[in-house]
Structure 1
Amino acid sequence: MKKIFIFPILALLSLVPSVMGAEIGDINNDGSVDIADVVYLFKHRNVPLDDGDLNCDNSVDIADVVYLFKNYDKFREPVIFAKNLKLEPHWDEGYCYIVDSKGHKFVLLDKNATVPNIPDAKIINVPVKRIVSGWYYPIVSTADILNDSSCYDSIKGVTKYTLKYSPELSKRYDEGKVADIGSSSNVDYDVIINISPDIVFLAEWPQHDKIEAKLNELGITVSRAFSYKEPTYMGRIEWVKYAAAFWGEDKYNKANNFFQNAWKKRNDLLRITRNAKTYPKVVNFWKSSDIGSIYIPESQNYYIKLINGFRGDYVFSDLPGTGNEKIDTETFMERARNADVVILRQSSKTIKTKDDLLKVYPNSGFENLKAFKEGRFYISKSDYYTWEARDPIGTMEDYAKMIHPELFPNGDNDLKHFVKLQ
């Protein structure tokens, strides 16, 4: 019955113009993702690869039509990858509904709009005028992405640590326009009270549970963003929509465009790396200093999903979970010794050469690793994690090039946020 029904529709829609859709799945560019796009793709498979190759197999064919048919409901959802966020934009009715990572409900209400009947939801007028953020993500990072003075104007207080990653906020702090609220684990409540914020944004850490409880006692509204607990990198960066929504429809739309562009680039990199002839063994880990402990992402962590998506074979894939696990040096070295690619994430030093690395980590034994000897040892720049949100395209490109440099014209010689040690 479905086949009999669909072909008359194909004929009716055969004259729809073929132009690039604004969002993934909007093949006919009519501003929505629905069955009409499935029908259009069935009839017009000469659309650009970026638009039509939805399953990222480097071709536009009937498999993409089937893929879109099965997934168009998902594509049309406002939140596609993030698992710790619910967001429903109703900007045509003057509001956006959000449920954050702790289940706090918010109606972000535009001026002159009618308040919707959503039980237990906190009404917040947008754009929000007075914001305090206890961490860089996702509020400050989104302000840096949008680079709009009105967004910066609304941020009245941040942690001292956050200031060094946002040049604009740092300048405003020097001008007395932004307050230092202390550290992320020990905020100055008197400063926050003096700001009288419309809302305070906190992360997922246990110390933020205590801060939230105290702010609740003070009658201050709090929202929690568990972006680091997202199981995929795309879900991690999708929180840009959440942050932008507090500044209203225009900023939300700009943030969504930013996200869509990152999604398209991710698909392009999947197409490139699918041509890989091998699956190199990859190690990804964190170690802050020579005497610091080694932490490795568990197999469902978004770093590992990124590695596997670009056809790498994560050495510690047998460790389940979405977080990070501390591992003893002996076990790490034994399993990492013959890895093809080693990626060290750190945020304290500027390291450009192998000699630099061994000066910072003199007792690490890194020189005994195959990847070190063969020139496939990479180390992050000290501010890499801020760029994970601000430059997801550059971050994804770096990972794809580190895993499969042979597939890129300049190999792994033009990384943006990591360094190939020489």
Structure 2
Amino acid sequence: MELKSGNFTYNFHKNQTPFKKIILLNASMAGYISELGAENLIIGVSSPEYIYSEKIQNLIKERKIQNVGSDQKYDVEKIIALKPDAIFTNHIASFENTYELLKNNGIQVIFLDEYMEQKPLEKTAYIKLFGELLGKEKEAEAKYEEIAENYNELKKRALTSKEKPLVLANEMYGDVWYLPGGNTSVAHYIADANASYILKDNKDEKALTMGFEEVFAKTNGVQYWVNAGNYTSKKEMQKVNSLYGKLEVFNKGKIYTLSGKEKQRANDFFESGVVRADLILKDYIKIFHPELLPGYQLTYMKELQ
């Protein structure tokens, strides 16, 4: 069986898979495992405080899942002692020595690039890869089909709205506003929710760095501001950056953060949201066209008061 992800290609022998004992070094990957109901295959995670799943947290409390360090430093000895069939992680160049050490101890390290995938359903599709490696192909296929079907139906429903509001996204860090490019997942979601993103004509798959004045110049008529950090109130937001108060959307529009499903340091938007493109799209449609989803309560997003 061959697996391709970004720059990496793997070949697994018939007797290597399905994996029975896995370690996850990224919280986002827990989302795929949870959707497959395969939490009991996890024997170790890093930085457990970032994992939202209650089931995984309970398995950690019961010591069925071990803490194997953090993204500052992995506990290599513990990982080797746990004898996992495979470790799933995003490739971080500075950890090359650690990866080598693990591989030299006969541990299969699998690098995934799901976080670089900008098309929502293609990010969801990684569930099929986990399905193949964990012996849950049928469940994965069914889950993918269900999410894709929901997504496409919601997209159609969004098109029935007469309005196409103008949207701003993300926030500033210091002097820099990281504005998602027109080909990023944020831009795709906004378009699929039948709204008009201020950088929709841009072709970049990554965020563009801009100063406040540059962004300000593009915000005339913006009604919605999404993915605006994780503030608890507009007041707090303005305290962090007084420039925000100059924006018309700050004073007259609606602002939404990604903190609808947060527990301490864990945010489910970055976990189950990685798979559930349909629910993220549903949130955006509810924000831009509330009349289309009258009974629906937001899942991952939250309006700032």
Deviation of 1:209 (Å): 4.8
> Which residue does the alignment assign to 1:254?
139
Distance 2:246 2:284 in 1: 23
Structure having the higher Rg = 1
State whether structure 2 residue 11 is matched by structure 1 residue 124.
no
Indicate which of 12, 18, 24 corresponds to 1:133.
Answer: 24
Within the candidate set 97, 108, 117, 1:221 is matched to 108
2:169 matched residue in structure 1: 284
Q: Of 144, 150, 153, which aligns to 2:34?
A: 144
Which stretch has the larger CA shift, 378-387 or 317-326?
317-326
Runs of 4+ in structure 1 over 6 Å off:
none
Output the CA distance in 1 between the equivalents of 2:132 and 2:192: 30
Aligned to 1:374: 252
d(CA) in 1 for partners of 2:191, 2:294 = 22
> How far apart are residue 107 of structure 1 and its match?
3.1
Unmatched tracts of structure 1, length 5 or more: 1-95, 110-122
Question: Which residue of the other structure, out of 159, 178, 189, is the alignment partner of 1:274?
Answer: 159
Question: Shift of the alpha carbon at 1:369?
Answer: 2.3
For 1:49-68, list aligned pairs within 5 A: none
The alpha-carbon distance between structure 1 residues 293 and 104, as it changes in their structure 2 partners (threshold 3 A), is: same
The TM-score normalised by the length of structure 1 is: 0.64
- Superposed CA RMSD in Å reads 2.6
Of 95, 104, 114, which residue of structure 1 is paired with 2:9?
104
Alpha-carbon offset, residue 277 of structure 1: 2.4
Between the aligned partners of 1:308 and 1:108, the Cα distance in structure 2 is: 42
Give the 3 Å change call, closer, same or farther, for CA 371–408 of structure 1 in structure 2: farther
Residue by residue over 1:170-199, the C-alpha shift from the partner in whole angstroms, topping out at 9 and shown as x without a partner, is 222222222212112421211111112211
**Contact 1:163–1:169 (CA<8 Å) still a contact in 2?**
no
Of 346, 349, 355, which residue of structure 1 is paired with 2:235? 355
CA positional deviation for 1:327: 2.5
- In structure 2, relative to structure 1, the CA distance for the partners of 1:224 and 1:391 (3 Å cut) is same
2-structure distance, mates of 1:364, 1:286: 12
**Identity of paired residues, percent?**
19
Q: Structure 2 CA distance, aligned partners of 1:176 and 1:321?
A: 44
Q: Letter of the 2:224 partner, please give it.
A: V
Deviation at 1:224, TM superposition (A): 1.3
Higher relative contact order (CA 8 A, sep 6+): 2
Structure 1 residue 169: Cα displacement? 2.3
Distance 1:206 1:335, change over 3 A: farther
The gaps in structure 2 that reach 5 residues or longer are none
TM-score (norm 2): 0.86
Distance 1:317 1:208 in 2: 36
Deviation at 1:337, TM superposition (A): 5.1
Question: 1:75 corresponds to which residue?
Answer: none
User: Secondary structure of 2:106's partner?
Assistant: coil
Aligned length: 298
